[in-house]
A and B are shown apart, each in its own frame.
Chain A
Amino acid sequence: MSEPDPKAAGAVKDASMIKQKEMIAGHFSALSRAKESGKKVVYTFVPGNLTELLHAFDVLPVYPEINALQSGMRKKSGAYITEAERLGHSEDVCTYVKCDIGMLKAGNIGPTGEKLPEPDLLLLSYTGCFTFMKWFELLKREYHCPVAMLHVPYQGDGEFTPAMRDYVVDQLRTEVIPKLEQITGKKLDEAKLEEALARSSVAEDDLVWVLESAKNKPSPIDAYFGGVYYIGPIFTAFRGTDLAVDYYRTLRAEVQQRLDLGLGPLTPEGEMKNERYRLVVEGPPNWTSFNEFWKMFADEGAVVVASSYTKVGGMYDAGFRHDPTRPLETLAEYCAGCYTNLNLPSRISMLEKYVREYSADGLLINSVKSCNSFSAGQLMILREVEQRTGVPGGFIETDLVDPRYFSAANVKNRIESYLQMIEQKRRNAGARVSVQVPAAVAPKTRLAVLP
């Protein structure tokens, strides 16, 4: 769920960053002109988004989660959330929702300073998060526009059966497509959809290549803090477009170049010179203090080599590609395969695989207060992955966009403690010498002393 301001990603600006920034600016500018240009606008969610279908109808998508995280990065979310709470939304409601409601009440000005158009349709792809339904119920009350509901069954048993797929395809046929036809006044252009899907799969190949480049040592990318930039275009308005194909080509070439030169990832402070810890991170990042949070890792030489968050908009590294020969089926499978629609055993297997394949030193969970889809079961996940892989787990708590839930001192303390714990374990594993501890200190014990 990302499309943050590429400015934040380090002092050096790569061509891909500039490109992404232009793409975003172009999109928001098109949105601000939607009324004049006669384009229809659909609000929808990142997980299980049907962007290719929207492009086939030539409508413009708006992703409220992205607006919320953008507000978080631009330090506006605090005031928006307070406004929503003043309107009666409880402290426990997902802060993306409250941030979005607050922004709406403040005039619905988007991240580029332009006003966002009202939706012609709310396309509710329901992939595991109940909050999505409540969120659009609220928006429906504000905008009085139709809602198209796509119910994607949760992969409770760890698989997406043909019957489940047919159930989703059926809804696409009878609910989603008709409603899109209704608001646009045109029939679905199947050829256009297939072309978009074909482009998606090209970009997806490049994205997977980029994410997997982190298997190298040192990793040329940070697959969490940097990763949220890399997933930006493909998780949002650009999947299925030439722009996205082009962006991922450029990005891949840049990463290839870093690899050739043996460079580490870019961080807010420039290039990371000394990779000391390789981590897998589970859970979304904090957006309100994104750079400060990133720096806490970068300062210690910790690079994230794989993350679950960069899979919320699709699990391409697990092999999924959009398939233009089965347009509706492929969309159904895509929706079902988003990370938060997976059951806990599948999440555990995936993280275990990451730890092994990316030679990680640990699994760190960032538990965000807002998100039930991520946070439920996280401690169980942590213990299980620890047990299976033998690498230590760590646990920190923040929030997505509520600045009140980011205590820098506390988070930093925990990250440092966690990394030092990894370091100690590493050293202890290599310990050889041991000395007798005097009785006054520790009766009858031997203490390992490090070489």
Chain B
Amino acid sequence: MKSFLGIDLGSTTTKAVLLDDGGSVLGRGITNSRSNYHLAADIARDEANVDARFTLLDRALEAAGETGEEAVQFRKRLLYHFRKVQQLAQLASLRDKALVEARGGRLGHHGAPLEDRLARLFEDLETNWRKPRLGGAARSDFFRDQASGDFARMAEKLADRALPFDVLMSVFDKVIIQVENERIDLTFEGNIRRALVSCLENESPERRARYEAAVLSVADTPLDTVRSIGTGYGRQTLPFPKDSIRSEILCHGLGAHVMFPKTTTVLDIGGQDTKAIQVDGDGIVTSFQMNDRCAAGCGRYLGYIADEMNMGVHELGPLAMQSTRHVKINSTCTVFAGAELRDRLTMGQRREDILAGLHRAIILRAMALLARSGGVADEFTFTGGVANNPAAVQALRQLVEENYGSRTLNISPNSIFTGALGAALFALRASQEVANA
């Protein structure tokens, strides 16, 4: 089967989208960008391939008339087992590396007790491995996040005077980077059989045979990526020829258009930059503005605020939504974010009110870019990580309404894939161009 790949190499996350030759999304994949863009691109692509196989499985099941509850449940369970197999493979690698680390290196002097403790810790992690979260493709919990939470919990339990928590965690910090930077086989083809075995354990032989046949036929379908286009902050580092690289502004415009075909104005607030884009009826960019060299008011800013408040970045929006008092903040300078926050806290302002003010300040900056790019026309699509933040969305809605009147505001749950989707569509178009030439 032919497929077309779009990769969006962002400063925080790398996204991949696979399309089939009719332009339908086959699969999406996301991973954290690490410091290794190549690897991040590979992993995101593999993830998209996995997702694509599951889409093909859906199609195969549907074609075979397997649409009942039983099939739905099977599909769910299979995905669950597949994720488990994948993550246990990563966990095993983490364990091996941790033990090597304990034996030699800097921590060698702790000797057998450390090895022992780690062995117990991992045993426990493996048996109590939490149900992998299977939320939409836009799940933000990568292996690192989940493993680090679980590891820390266990380390707390097992730590004592001789082997304090810090020592255990230092092992984790050291080896998680190695695991993230190694290529473990996480593919569908490589792992689905094991998942299938545990998934079909209690099934009747007849059903087992039916499902097995469907799954294995999908695993054997070649997924031939005929064209790839890369975009995003790190696009220059992709091992793609120049004509396979597109600016993220074009990709965002096209991606937003595909998600919401009536889109005229696009706002993207990412980690490092904010873009205001106008597109025509075909999703072609007609004008754009982006922040200058200063990243004030971009997603990264919220990251600093979250660190400063000792919170997760995802918790900021909901807390800000509880604000009852209007606090006006003018500066969105990343460098002074901490100072600004502490000042206001000492002035006695409440955290939720300050946060609401900060969100509004970010959106005010975006409003200036929107105005410069040509305003906000109907429909208006908001993308990027910050589009998942309810307080930012609320402030945006309000300010757009005040300045431009009522507008349809589109936010897709897959908004994080907008750039990659646009890139994939460029890939599809490019190959059609070649075919038509």
Give me the interface of A with B, judged by CB distance under 8 Å. Answer: 379, 383, 386, 392-393, 395, 397, 405-407, 410, 413-414, 416-418, 420-421, 424-425, 428, 431, 433, 435, 437-438, 440-445, 447-451
Within the assembled complex, what's the spacing in Å between the Cα atoms of A379 and B437? 39
Once the chains bind, are B22 and A438 in contact (CB under 8 Å)? Answer: yes
Once the chains bind, are B24 and A440 in contact (CB under 8 Å)? Answer: yes
Within the assembled complex, what's the spacing in Å between the Cα atoms of A355 and B258? 33
Within the assembled complex, what's the spacing in Å between the Cα atoms of A447 and B254? 10
Choose from B25, B248, B282 the contact partner of A447 (Cβ within 8 Å). B282
Once the chains bind, are B429 and A449 in contact (CB under 8 Å)? Answer: yes
User: Please, what's the 1-or-0 string for B257-299, where 1 marks a CB less than 8 Å from any CB in chain A?
Assistant: 1110100000000000100000010111111111011000000
Once the chains bind, are A442 and B259 in contact (CB under 8 Å)? Answer: yes
> Does B433 make an interface contact (CB < 8 A)?
yes
Choose from B25, B247, B261, B433 the contact partner of A450 (Cβ within 8 Å). B433
Within the assembled complex, what's the spacing in Å between the Cα atoms of A428 and B250? 13
Within the assembled complex, what's the spacing in Å between the Cα atoms of A266 and B93? 56
Tell me the nearest residue of chain A to B433, going by C-beta: A450
Once the chains bind, are A417 and B372 in contact (CB under 8 Å)? Answer: no
CB distance from A282 to the nearest CB of B (A): 15
Once the chains bind, are A420 and B247 in contact (CB under 8 Å)? Answer: yes
Within the assembled complex, what's the spacing in Å between the Cα atoms of A424 and B288? 14
Choose from A417, A425, A441 the contact partner of B249 (Cβ within 8 Å). A417
Tell me the nearest residue of chain B to A404, going by C-beta: B293
Give chain B's interface secondary structure class. mixed
A406 contact set on B, CB distance < 8 A: 293
> Does B128 make an interface contact (CB < 8 A)?
no
Tell me the nearest residue of chain A to B24, going by C-beta: A438
Tell me the nearest residue of chain B to A395, going by C-beta: B289
CB distance from A448 to the nearest CB of B (A): 5
Once the chains bind, are B374 and A442 in contact (CB under 8 Å)? Answer: no
B259 contact set on A, CB distance < 8 A: 442
Once the chains bind, are B284 and A424 in contact (CB under 8 Å)? Answer: yes
Given A392-B286, A442-B261: A433 and B436 interface contact (C-beta under 8 Å) = yes
Chain B residues bordering chain A, tally (CB within 8 A) = 34
A410 contact set on B, CB distance < 8 A: 273, 290, 292-293
> Does B221 make an interface contact (CB < 8 A)?
no
A450 contact set on B, CB distance < 8 A: 429, 432-433, 436
CB distance from B138 to the nearest CB of A (A): 17
> Does B360 make an interface contact (CB < 8 A)?
no
Tell me the nearest residue of chain B to A392, going by C-beta: B286
CB interface residues, B 280-321, toward A, < 8 Å: 280, 282-290, 292-293
Once the chains bind, are B292 and A407 in contact (CB under 8 Å)? Answer: yes
Q: Which 5 A-B pairs have the closest CB atoms?
A: A407-B293, A417-B247, A445-B261, A417-B249, A438-B24
CB interface residues, B 1-57, toward A, < 8 Å: 19, 22-25
Given A438-B22, A450-B429, A451-B436: A444 and B288 interface contact (C-beta under 8 Å) = no
Of A431, A440, A447, the most chain B CB neighbours within 10 A belong to: A447
Once the chains bind, are A395 and B23 in contact (CB under 8 Å)? Answer: no
Within the assembled complex, what's the spacing in Å between the Cα atoms of A410 and B233? 10
CB distance from A119 to the nearest CB of B (A): 36
Tell me the nearest residue of chain A to B425, going by C-beta: A447
Tell me the nearest residue of chain A to B252, going by C-beta: A417
Given A410-B292, A416-B247, A428-B282: A392 and B258 interface contact (C-beta under 8 Å) = no
Once the chains bind, are A437 and B372 in contact (CB under 8 Å)? Answer: no
A383 contact set on B, CB distance < 8 A: 374
Given A392-B287, A442-B259: A421 and B249 interface contact (C-beta under 8 Å) = yes
Given A440-B24, A444-B261: A424 and B292 interface contact (C-beta under 8 Å) = no
Of B261, B290, B293, the most chain A CB neighbours within 10 A belong to: B293
9 cross-chain CB contacts under 8 A: A392-B286, A395-B289, A406-B293, A413-B249, A413-B290, A420-B250, A421-B286, A440-B25, A442-B261
Within the assembled complex, what's the spacing in Å between the Cα atoms of A418 and B250? 9
A441 contact set on B, CB distance < 8 A: 19, 23-25, 258
> Does B246 make an interface contact (CB < 8 A)?
yes
Once the chains bind, are B285 and A421 in contact (CB under 8 Å)? Answer: yes
Once the chains bind, are A420 and B246 in contact (CB under 8 Å)? Answer: yes
Once the chains bind, are A397 and B258 in contact (CB under 8 Å)? Answer: no
Within the assembled complex, what's the spacing in Å between the Cα atoms of A395 and B273? 16
B249 contact set on A, CB distance < 8 A: 413, 417, 421
Once the chains bind, are A428 and B372 in contact (CB under 8 Å)? Answer: no
Given A413-B247, A442-B258, A450-B429: A435 and B23 interface contact (C-beta under 8 Å) = yes
Within the assembled complex, what's the spacing in Å between the Cα atoms of A22 and B198? 83
User: Please, what's the 1-or-0 string for B420-437, where 1 marks a CB less than 8 Å from any CB in chain A?
Assistant: 000000000100110011
Give chain A's interface secondary structure class. mixed
19 more A-B residue pairs beyond the given contacts A438-B24, A443-B261, A444-B261, with a C-beta to C-beta distance below 8 A: A392-B287, A395-B372, A397-B293, A405-B293, A410-B293, A413-B247, A413-B248, A417-B248, A420-B246, A431-B282, A433-B436, A441-B24, A442-B257, A445-B261, A447-B23, A448-B282, A450-B432, A451-B436, A451-B437
Given A417-B249, A424-B284: A438 and B293 interface contact (C-beta under 8 Å) = no
CB distance from B340 to the nearest CB of A (A): 19
B287 contact set on A, CB distance < 8 A: 386, 392-393
Within the assembled complex, what's the spacing in Å between the Cα atoms of A163 and B19? 69
Choose from A405, A421, A431 the contact partner of B288 (Cβ within 8 Å). A421
Given A407-B292, A416-B247, A442-B259: A437 and B23 interface contact (C-beta under 8 Å) = yes
Of B24, B247, B259, B429, the most chain A CB neighbours within 10 A belong to: B247
A442 contact set on B, CB distance < 8 A: 23, 257-259, 261
B246 contact set on A, CB distance < 8 A: 420
Tell me the nearest residue of chain A to B292, going by C-beta: A397
A449 contact set on B, CB distance < 8 A: 429, 432
A393 contact set on B, CB distance < 8 A: 287
CB distance from A309 to the nearest CB of B (A): 20
A421 contact set on B, CB distance < 8 A: 247, 249-250, 284-286, 288
A420 contact set on B, CB distance < 8 A: 246-247, 250
B292 contact set on A, CB distance < 8 A: 397, 405, 407, 410
Once the chains bind, are A424 and B290 in contact (CB under 8 Å)? Answer: no
CB interface residues, B 177-223, toward A, < 8 Å: none
CB distance from B252 to the nearest CB of A (A): 10
Within the assembled complex, what's the spacing in Å between the Cα atoms of A431 and B432? 12
A379 contact set on B, CB distance < 8 A: 372
Within the assembled complex, what's the spacing in Å between the Cα atoms of A79 and B247? 34
Tell me the nearest residue of chain B to A411, going by C-beta: B293
Tell me the nearest residue of chain B to A367, going by C-beta: B292
CB distance from B336 to the nearest CB of A (A): 15
A395 contact set on B, CB distance < 8 A: 289, 372
Within the assembled complex, what's the spacing in Å between the Cα atoms of A288 and B345? 42
Within the assembled complex, what's the spacing in Å between the Cα atoms of A449 and B258? 13
Tell me the nearest residue of chain A to B428, going by C-beta: A449
Within the assembled complex, what's the spacing in Å between the Cα atoms of A379 and B290? 14
Within the assembled complex, what's the spacing in Å between the Cα atoms of A447 and B250? 15
Once the chains bind, are B23 and A414 in contact (CB under 8 Å)? Answer: no
Once the chains bind, are A424 and B24 in contact (CB under 8 Å)? Answer: no
Given A383-B374, A416-B247, A441-B258: A428 and B22 interface contact (C-beta under 8 Å) = no
Within the assembled complex, what's the spacing in Å between the Cα atoms of A438 and B59? 15
CB interface residues, B 320-375, toward A, < 8 Å: 372, 374
Within the assembled complex, what's the spacing in Å between the Cα atoms of A428 and B286? 12
